[in-house]
Amino acid sequence: MKIRDIKVFACCPGRNFVTVKVITDTGVYGLGDATVNGREMAVVAYLEEHVVPCLVGRDPQAIEDIWQYLYKGAYWRRGPITMAAIAGIDMALWDIKGKLADMPLYQMLGGKSRTGVTLYAHANGETIGDTINKAQSQINQGFKAVRLQCAVPGLEVTYGVLGDKKDYYELQGNRPLPPEEQWSTAKYFNMIEELFCEARKQLGPEVKLLHDVHSRLTPIESARLGKLLEPYNLFFLEDVCIAENQDNLQLVRQHTTIPLAIGETYNSIWDCKELIQNQSIDFIRTAATHAGGITAMRRIADFASLFNVQTAPHGAPDLSPICFAAHIHLNTWTHNFGIQEYVGPGNEQVQKIFSHDIEVKDGLAFVSEAPGLGVDFDELAAEPYPYKRSYLPVSRLEDGTVWNW
């Protein structure tokens, strides 16, 4: 068996996705997600110019060899574009192997460690009351873990809050140039404790509460936040400060017992090695699409298990349902899995293009028993939604200084 062709699709059913389709000479094909939010066409070019020509004619079952060939053979290692391209191919090859074996991916990895994958939902509001009401709505639907994000009074736009947009797809899919958003740490601190104080009072002690700072704070400000929110027993604080300087998290760790999560911008095991090994974090949030695929995520999960760090894969809407399916398989297998981010099944167009039978019920996701990843991609349904350039925002402090978005 050999790889006959590899197709790369960039479509925008509300927001952009890059989909890889590896086709064998027997007609069996596999799918992968290679989306990098705001840099989608860079991955498309990398795949079409530097990956596809090198893989046609190779054995699709040689997953490990192909992964090493793409990683070590390129000389220029790592980086989000390279690793997303590798990830798209890697997922597709695992999908093919599962189909050939007539087994779902999680069985190929070693079987189930759990019957269902715990999800956390999003609750974002314009006010504290609005945020808590939306959290209660998610709890009423069966979710036992909810991320709270609230608009900061005095700022026109706040990360994680939809504003006048109906969903994340409308929010993220219409930015032909990067919008610039203002940030104020002082204004954020003026409201954040009240949000979680009221949430605990109204939602009770059992629901798991999470929060994403999105790298807005300095290490010492992050330490202050951790101490401030300790009485409200958060499940984790995500991305409290920038990820590049990993010593930052040690400083935060010294000042708070709130579990810390980070890693959605990491793209290899080397990016998170020291954080895991030094036990500076409690949850590693690498995503299959951005960290080199299923092959790489297995290594990260196994390494993290040695140091009592759990996996909590990134699950924002910039990852396609193919990546979500890969995560559900990985999370079903991974012994040290913690929790999976979930923003819903996507809009009507997304659900038409990407079909799968993953069931979500009472805050749990149940893995597909279909061979491989258990997800399909309808090329014809994607045609009316061509790629549309759209960017993530840029953040500035009130004095105009560019800041971490």
Q: What is the pLDDT of residues 102-152, one digit of tens each?
A: 999 999 999 999 999 999 999 999 999 999 999 999 999 999 999 999 999
pLDDT digit string, tens, across residues 26-36:
999 999 999 99
Tell me which residue of 341, 367, 286 sits closest to 146, measured CA to CA.
341
Whether 166 shows a pLDDT value over 90: the answer reads: no
Catalytic residue among 46, 159, 188, 266: 159
Please choose, from the candidates 93, 147, 144, 138, the residue with its C-alpha nearest in 3D space to the C-alpha of residue 117. 144
Q: What is the distance between the alpha carbons of residues 90 and 60, in angstroms, rounded to a whole number?
A: 10
Confidence grade of residue 204 (pLDDT, cut at 50, 70, 90): very high
Same domain, 244 and 98: no
Residues 30 and 172 in one domain: no
Handedness of CA 246, 247, 252, 257 (dihedral sign): positive
pLDDT in tens, 34-60: 999 999 999 999 999 999 999 999 999
Q: How far apart (Å, rounded) are the C-alpha atoms in residues 391 and 37?
A: 7
d(CA 136, CA 141) in angstroms, rounded, equals: 9
pLDDT class of 169 with cuts at 50, 70, 90 = confident
Reading the block at residue 335, the tokens are 């012994």
Same domain, 90 and 128: no
Last residue of a domain, one of 77, 103, 129: 103
pLDDT at site 174:
80
DSSP label at 179? -
CA 93 to chain centre: 21
How high is the pLDDT of residue 278?
96
Residues 94 and 167 in one domain: no
122, 211, 214, 327: the catalytic one is 214
> What single-letter amino acid sits at 260?
L
Q: What is the pLDDT of residues 343-392, one digit of tens each?
A: 999 999 999 999 999 999 999 999 999 999 999 999 999 999 999 999 99
Closest by CA position to 391, among listed 179, 165, 163: 179
Please list, in sequence order, all residues whose beta carbon lies within 8 angstroms of the beta carbon of residue 101, skipping any fewer than 6 positions away: 108, 371
At residue 104, the pLDDT reads 98
The residue out of 53, 81, 103 marking a domain boundary is 103
Domain boundary among 103, 118, 149: 103
Q: 25 is in which domain, residue-wise?
A: 3-103
| 232 among known catalytic residues | no
What does pLDDT average to over the chain? Answer: 96
Q: Rounded to 5 degrees, what are φ and ψ at 152?
A: -85, 120
Establish whether 159 is a catalytic residue.
Answer: yes
pLDDT tier for residue 10 given thresholds of 50, 70 and 90: very high
Same structural domain, 117 and 99: no
pLDDT at 171: 73
Domain count, the chain: 2
CATH (domain of 309): 3.20.20.120
Residues 247 and 346 in one domain: yes
Say which CATH number the domain at 38 has. 3.30.390.10
